[in-house]
């Protein structure tokens, strides 16, 4: 049975053009800074994000943890939205690796408000952990891939500056935010001390993320990458995939958004589910099961050749990506209507 895999945009496989680029990549030892393809990727991302320098790292979780480590001292506290990837899906790494505490704040429909940040900052006092960083995830995965409006980002940045806080941007799907709102990535990244972007989600590369920021912070990030075991040698084979994706995959992210919108509209018509169509801005579709469990729906859909992700007891996530065509989204919609339409 052909499976239509909507679990995540991390399930993509390299296209033939990407495989060719990887095969032909010029390589060197990146720990010595001598891999020319890695260096080109870092320069390209730094230019794209409007930063002085950038650093290629193996994964998004490592990118987040490097950023937090560089921006904090042990005992510091990070403010972030309750649904953030760092808080929910990184195995407690912030405490383990950096000795820092996470302070989750319940956002407004998944997004932080400046006033919430102000209210969450710890007062001065020896019994309190120092509030040091505000972390923002754009797009907000658990909230359904919603995009932080640029004016909200700027307002949050102003609040952080007024309170002498650092800013960190988890930009795993920043490419999607940029494509959805037609805002350059560098505009979103501008207020942040450190930003990172993923190559292995919507861009479809097999691995890798890139941290970007001022040269002194990237120098610290490079040493932290080594400490965390992320120094790679002939990494240009992977970096070549990222360069190819920027040229050939990034321009088509809006296609994934159109697929998600089509799927969401089907779900909205089915009485078995509830969905807020206004929150389907990018390639993630979050919906609720009205009567039953997410697990039962996921199992039923899998029996019919469609992979979904349970995202809570009654919550399901579907994620569109470059390896699922609009025809396959139509097929998944047909399966949903057949299994859960009105009788």
* pLDDT digit string, tens, across residues 220-268: 999 999 999 999 999 999 999 999 999 999 999 999 999 999 999 999 9
How is domain 4-10+252-340 classified at the CATH fold level?
3.90.1150
Contact 156, 117 (CB under 8 A): yes
Return the SS3 of 222.
helix
Contact 56, 38 (CB under 8 A): yes
What digits encode the pLDDT tens for the residues 158-210?
999 999 999 999 999 999 999 999 999 999 999 999 999 999 999 999 999 99
What digits encode the pLDDT tens for the residues 110-155?
999 999 999 999 999 999 999 999 999 999 999 999 999 999 999 9
State which H helix or E strand residue 47 sits in: helix 36-49
What digits encode the pLDDT tens for the residues 13-36?
999 999 999 999 999 999 999 999
What digits encode the pLDDT tens for the residues 52-90?
999 999 999 999 999 999 999 999 999 999 999 999 999
pLDDT attached to residue 341: 87
Report pTM: 0.96
- Structure token digits, residue 161: 């500056």
How many Å apart are CA 127 and CA 237, to the nearest integer?
49
How many Å apart are CA 238 and CA 247, to the nearest integer?
15
Contact 129, 102 (CB under 8 A): no
Within this chain, domains 4-10+252-340 and 16-248 share the same CATH topology: no
State which H helix or E strand residue 186 sits in: helix 185-189
Q: Average model confidence (pLDDT) for the chain?
A: 97
For residue 80, list its beta bridge partners: 104
- 343 has pLDDT over 90: no
Domains of the chain by residue range = 4-10+252-340, 16-248
71: which residues sit within 8 A by CB, 6+ positions away? 132, 133, 166, 168, 193, 194, 217
pLDDT category at 334 given cuts 50, 70, 90 is: very high
Task: Give the mean model confidence (pLDDT) for residues 278-292.
Answer: 96
> How is domain 16-248 classified at the architecture level of CATH?
3-Layer(aba) Sandwich (3.40)
């Amino acid at each position: 049975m052909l499976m239509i895999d909507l679990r995540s945009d991390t399930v993509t496989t390299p296209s033939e053009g990407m495989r060719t680029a990887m095969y032909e990549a010029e390589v060197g030892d990146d720990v010595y800074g001598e891999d020319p393809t890695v260096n080109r990727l870092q320069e390209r991302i730094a230019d794209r994000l409007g930063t002085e320098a950038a650093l290629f790292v193996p994964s998004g979780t490592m990118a987040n943890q490097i950023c937090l480590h560089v921006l904090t001292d042990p005992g510091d506290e990070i403010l972030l939205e309750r649904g953030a990837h760092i808080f929910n899906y990184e195995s407690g790494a912030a405490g383990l690796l950096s000795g820092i505490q996470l302070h989750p704040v319940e956002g407004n429909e998944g997004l932080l408000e400046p006033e919430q940040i102000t209210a969450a900052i710890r007062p001065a006092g020896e019994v309190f952990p120092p509030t040091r960083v505000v972390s923002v995830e754009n797009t907000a995965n658990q909230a359904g891939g919603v995009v932080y409006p640029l004016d909200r980002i700027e307002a949050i940045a102003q609040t952080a500056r007024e309170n002498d806080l650092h800013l960190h941007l988890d930009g795993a799907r920043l490419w999607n935010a940029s494509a959805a709102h037609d805002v350059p990535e560098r505009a979103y990244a501008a207020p942040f001390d450190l930003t990172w972007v993923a190559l292995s989600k919507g861009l479809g590369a097999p691995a890798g993320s890139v941290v970007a920021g001022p040269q002194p912070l990237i120098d610290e990030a490079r040493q932290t990458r080594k400490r965390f075991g992320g120094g790679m040698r002939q990494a240009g084979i992977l970096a070549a995939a990222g360069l190819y994706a920027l040229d050939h995959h990034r321009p088509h992210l809006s296609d994934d958004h159109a697929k998600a919108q089509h799927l969401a509209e089907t779900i909205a018509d089915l009485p078995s589910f509830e969905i807020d169509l206004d929150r389907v801005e990018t390639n993630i579709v979050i919906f609720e099961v009205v009567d039953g469990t997410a697990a039962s729906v996921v199992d039923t859909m899998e029996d019919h050749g469609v992979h979904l992700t349970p995202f809570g007891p009654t919550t399901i996530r579907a994620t569109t990506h470059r390896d699922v065509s609009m025809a396959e989204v139509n097929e998944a919609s047909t399966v949903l209507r057949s299994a859960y339409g009105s009788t």
